[in-house]
Every structure is written in C-alpha cells, then in structure tokens.
Structure 1
Amino acid sequence: MGSPGVSTKNRHPYLTKNIRYKVQKHIMENCREKSIFLQAINGYTEHMHCLISLGREQTISKIAQLIKGESSFWINKNMLTKIPFMWQDDYFAVSVSQSGLQAVTNYIKNQEIHHAKKSFDFEVKEFVDKYGFTLEKEDI
C-alpha cells in the first residue's frame, strides 16, 4: 500500500473546492481505466493525497507519473484554471501497513479540517523530522 502526496507547482492554490472535487472525480475515473486501485483521494487547495494499493507490475513512480501527467493535461484541456495548471516535479510517498490503513484513510478524508490547522509544508516538515526521512526530488 502506498500513499503519495502531490503538490501544485509553487504550491499555488489552484484546487479550490469546486475544482478539487472535479479533479478528484476525474482521477478516480482515470485510475479505474488504468487498473490503478485507488482506495482514497482528497486534498486541499495546493495538494492531493492518494491511497493506492500497488499491483505486481506497478511502482509508485509510474503511478504518480500517470496520475499527475494525465490529470494536469485534463485540467488544462478543460480550462478549469485561469492560468496553466502544473503539479510540482516531486512527490511525497510512504508505504502503509495493513494496521495503518484506517488511520491513513481517515487522515486523507479529513484534509479540509486538518489543513485549517496546519499547512502542507509544515506537515511534510513534521514527517521528515519525526521519521528521519530524506527528501529527494525526482523528475516525473
């Protein structure tokens, strides 16, 4: 199980509530079409979280590339934003054990409440500090 988080370019708040729900619905449909088992999706104005169960031939990198590339193309094709939409080049991903599934699912479902209290940047810094992660950029 993997839980990637992707941010908009320069953390620009493109994903207003109306746009965010359209994008989430589209990502869910796209995942179904590409046999990506998406268990949960939600986000806030400048990022999106997905809980994904990887298939045998799937990697987090490839799934992130498919979701980010296709969704940004779809957002721009449908002119959902006034300026061209772009995701950041990087993404944040962690694996989730079976025992942690419900907690991660609840966390993803409650993004609006969670981010009323703390920013995405602060949240990532907390994870890095708490678990000793090293952030590496990966061009997708």
Structure 2
Amino acid sequence: MANTYTQIHIQAVFAVQNRQSLINPEWKDELYKYITGIIQSYNHKMLQINGMPDHIHIFFGMRPTQSLSDLMKQVKQDSSKWINTKGFVNGKFSWQEGYGAFSYSKSHIPRVIKYITNQEEHHKTKTFANEYLELLKESGIDYDERYILKTVT
C-alpha cells in the first residue's frame, strides 16, 4: 500500500490448552524461532518473544496488511501443527482458544521488551491468571469472567 505509514506495536498473550505446562525448556527456543518465522513471513517485525511452560508472549510491530485475528490464527494453528509434527508432547498439543492483545506506543517498547524478557523472574511471584487479568485491567479491557482462562471440558 503506497503512502501508508503506521506505527503499531502489539503484545499478544495466549495459553496452552487448559494452561497445561507443556512448553519444554529443551525445545522452547526452537518454538520461539518458528513463531518468529511465522510473524516475519507476513512482514511483521518481531520485537520480543518469551513465555512460560503454560503460556507465551509475543511483541511485534504489525503491518496493516493483515488483521490481528488472522495473524493469531496462523501463529497458533501453524505452531500447534509444528509441535505435533515434531512429537514434542505426548498426545495432541493445542493452544487455548482466544488471546489477549495489547497495543503500545513507541515510548513503551523498551519496557514491554524487558517485561517479556523477564517472564521467568516475574512469574516467581505472580501466576499467569493474575498476570493476564492485570494486563486486561491495565488496558481498560472489559471481559467476561466466564470466559477467562477456563478449563475446557
């Protein structure tokens, strides 16, 4: 798109199905590289990726050539398929339905990168559920408790 200029920075957060701790430290770096490749294949710019065994944070500069929902669908679908093809988990791996997405101004980029980089330290004192609710509240996002991090039956 000629003459289109944007500055869109998104942090997306999503969990493993039922928040199971399935992302193994032995292959998480490979997963992060794979997800980075998906993001970059759509001409978005990965700024930071990290997570815990039960969830992941991706922070990227987004191009307006694709909807966020389509990108998240591709990231989750393709990475699930990749994990299953590699046989990294017993049974079938899948991400929980939905995601959180939060936008940031350019001045917030260093802070968000640091926050995502330090996930392991951060989660010594805060659960993923508490972190996720805090992100929603800080961003002023209305949510329905019935659908927040519920176990799928």
Q: TM-score, normalised by structure 1?
A: 0.89
Tell me if structure 1 keeps the 8 A contact 2:80–2:95. yes
Equivalent residue in structure 2 for 1:79, among 84, 87, 92: 87
Residues 57-106 of structure 1: per-residue CA shift (max 9 Å, x gap): 12221111111110001000111111210001110011011111110011
Alignment pair present for 1:18 and 2:18: no
Alignment pair present for 1:117 and 2:102: no
Pairwise CA RMSD: 1.6
Secondary structure of the 2:72 match is helix
Q: State the 4+ residue runs in structure 1 displaced beyond 6 angstroms.
A: none
The structure whose residues are more often strand, as a share, is 1
Cα distance in 1 for residues equivalent to 2:62 and 2:40: 13
Corresponding residue for residue 104 of structure 1 = 112
Tell me if structure 1 keeps the 8 A contact 2:21–2:54. yes
Larger gyration radius, structure 1 or structure 2: 2
Q: TM-score, normalised by structure 2?
A: 0.82
Identity of aligned residues (%): 28
The structure whose residues are more often helix, as a share, is 1
1:38 to partner: Cα distance: 1.2
Equivalent residue in structure 2 for 1:49, among 57, 71, 75: 57
Letter in 2 for 1:38: M
Cα distance in 2 for residues equivalent to 1:77 and 1:41: 22
